[in-house]
Amino acid sequence: MQALLSFDRAPPLAAPLRFLVTAPLFVAALGLLLLFQGSDVFSSRWSPAALAATHLVTVGFFLQVMLGALIQILPVVAGANVPRPLALAVPLHGGLTLGAIALVLAFLVPDPRLYLLAAVLLGSSVAGFLVVAGGALFRVPSTSPTIVGLKLAFGGLAAVGGLGVLLLGALAFGANLPLVALTDLHAGWGFAAWVGILLASLAYVVVPMFQLTPGYPARLSRVFPWALFVLLLLWSAAVVLDLPLLARVAEGCAALAGIFIAAYTLRLQGKRRRARADATYRLWQLGLVSLLAALALAVADALFPAFAALAGWTALFAVLIGVGGYMSLIIGMLYKIVPFLAWLHLRNDSQGRPVPSVSKLLPESRALAQAGAHGVAVVLLALAALAPDLAARAAGLALLVAALWLEANLVSVLRHYHRVRGEMSAAPTQGA
């Protein structure tokens, strides 16, 4: 698998890392929001606190990490050379960060000007990324399931971004639009097409590479992204045309497809060649089990629509798919990708000097400890979804600790990188 990757095309380390180091701070902000707002975060899907909490995760963490990672992944994995990656990364990072802050403030302190500011910052950032990075990607032939999945995920990003800007415009100008249906479409395309297809497509590469498992079957790798994308199109048409039975069928089939790929990944992990369970393995186990639970709730909702009306269902689903599922998978990948990138750039700049191993840049014990803290936060958040008065603030504290711990671990890699690079610059070259 590694032979298929073009590490010589990797962009400057500063391009992706600025996103990856910023993202955990938004999760820490969610912890603070839970500490101060408590059960209000879980009171209703439409409460200001709930909307702010949702977008701290989806925009502040997911979008930040995924766009930053794609600047690294596109040239290395897909052979799509993003022109001037650092020149793209700097304004993109600023726009995403300020846009996420404006969006969260707009929900907490409803103000049309903040909605408009968030729409401009986030809309222009996503559009610019799609034009520059998407242009590079779509010029590459679709020679692998990962490249196909990346292209479909970009379609999902365009859909969720466009719907998000439309919703913000409606809130800013008071337009009479079907906000509930548009919000459902926005969430569906975000969680399934953008995040879901993207993570599945990357799993085809990173699971065998970093967890030493067998590869995914070629047919499954080819079929899953297209199947999920087509089901989302069918579900969207049913929502727009107000065909509830068709919408439920498409929703249930999409959830079953997700259950299949998550269960198969668990099966692959059981066949890994590495006996020791590291932090990435533990986080992926947590993430996959959480996704299976969330998708089982989605199947139940498709079969029995009244199920979603039960107290705590929506909040529990959001916790399981967002923090327990996708966030756990992403943190697991960060613990492999960030130290590896630091090591790769040190090796490329070493001029024959020895460089520290990946495990020296981030000791496994630190990653495992943080993974345990994240697991505690997930359990408390799931409990808070069902009993918010009992556990909301405890969940907030646990999430704050886990997020700051993640931030400290990532920053420690960066500090180690700069220290070693400084030592190499001060030392004479080999043979001098």
**Looking at the predicted structure, is the pLDDT value of residue 98 above 80?**
yes
Q: Which residues fall within 8 angstroms of residue 73, CB to CB, at 6 or more apart?
A: 150, 202
Per-residue confidence (pLDDT) for residue 93, from 0 to 100: 96
Has residue 432 got a pLDDT over 70?
no
pLDDT value at position 2?
Answer: 42
Give the tens place of pLDDT for each residue, 233-254. Answer: 999 999 999 999 999 999 999 9
In tens, the pLDDT along 362-386 reads: 999 999 999 999 999 999 999 999 9
Q: What is the pLDDT of residue 431?
A: 46
CA atoms of 210 and 2, how far apart (whole Å): 10
376-425 per-position pLDDT tens digit = 999 999 999 999 999 999 999 999 999 999 999 999 999 988 888 777 76
Q: Which amino acid is at 93?
A: H
- 221 is a domain residue: no
Range of the domain at 399: 272-343+358-410
In-domain check, residue 179: no
Please report, in angstroms and rounded to a whole number, the separation of the first and last CA atoms in the chain.
Answer: 37
In the chain, the largest separation of any two C-alpha atoms, in whole Å, equals 75
- At a CB cut-off of 8 Å and minimum separation 6, what does 306 contact? none
Question: What is the reported pLDDT for 1?
Answer: 40
Give the mean pLDDT of 283-292. Answer: 97
Closest CA to 362 of 411, 401, 329, 327: 411
Query: Does 333 score more than 80 pLDDT?
Result: yes
Q: Tell me the average pLDDT across 111-136.
A: 95
Q: Which two tokens stand for residue 370?
A: 């943080």
pLDDT over 60 (residue 354): yes
Q: How confident is the model at residue 210 (pLDDT cuts 50, 70, 90)?
A: confident
343 pLDDT band, cuts 50/70/90, is confident
How many C-beta atoms surround the C-beta of residue 174 within 10 A? Answer: 8
Q: Is residue 307 part of a domain?
A: yes
DSSP per residue, 416-432:
HHHHHHHHHHHSPPTT-
Residue with tokens 């304004």: 91
At 427 the pLDDT is 63
pLDDT of residue 421: 79
Length of the chain equals 432
Share above pLDDT 90 across residues of the chain, in percent, rounded to a whole number: 76
Q: Which two tokens stand for residue 316?
A: 């529990």
Average pLDDT of every residue of the chain: 91
Q: How many CB atoms lie within 10 A of CB 173?
A: 10
Cα–Cα distances in Å, from 328 out to 320, 387, 400?
A: 10, 23, 15
* Residue 3 pLDDT: 40
Average of pLDDT values for 135-159? Answer: 94
DSSP string across 245-287? HHHHHHHHHHHHHHHHHHHHHHHHHTT-S--S--HHHHHHHHH
Instruction: Classify residue 393: in a domain, yes or no.
Output: yes
- 303 within a domain of the structure (yes/no): yes
Alpha-carbon span 223 to 221, nearest angstrom: 6
E strands within 88-143? none
Say what the pLDDT of residue 86 is. 93
Q: How confident is the model at residue 352 (pLDDT cuts 50, 70, 90)?
A: low
Q: How many domains does the chain have?
A: 1
Give the list of residues 6+ apart from residue 406 with CB closer than 8 angstroms, or none: 24, 27, 331, 334, 370, 374
User: What average pLDDT score do residues 37-46 get?
Assistant: 91
13 Cβ contact partners less than 8 Å away, ≥ 6 residues apart: 341, 342, 345, 417
The angle, 0 to 180 degrees and rounded to 10, between the axes of the packed helices 48-55 and 85-108 is 170
Separation between Cα atoms, residue 103 and residue 26, nearest integer Å: 12
- More confident site: 81 or 55: 55
Amino acid letter at 338? V
How large is the average pLDDT for residues 48-76? 95
| Helix/strand/coil for 289 | helix
Exposure b/e, 52-79, CB count within 10 A at least 16 = b = bbbbbbbbbbbbbbbbbbbbbbbbbbbb
> 181: Cβ–Cβ under 8 A, 6 or more apart, which residues?
239, 240
| Predicted TM-score of the model (pTM) | 0.94
Confidence of residue 327 (pLDDT cuts 50, 70, 90): very high
* Any domain includes 392: yes
Structure tokens at 171: 């809130």
pLDDT above 90 (res 51)? yes
Domain membership of residue 87 (yes or no) is no
C-alpha 311/C-alpha 228 separation (Å) is 29
Instruction: Determine, yes or no, domain membership for 232.
Output: no
pLDDT value for 347: 81
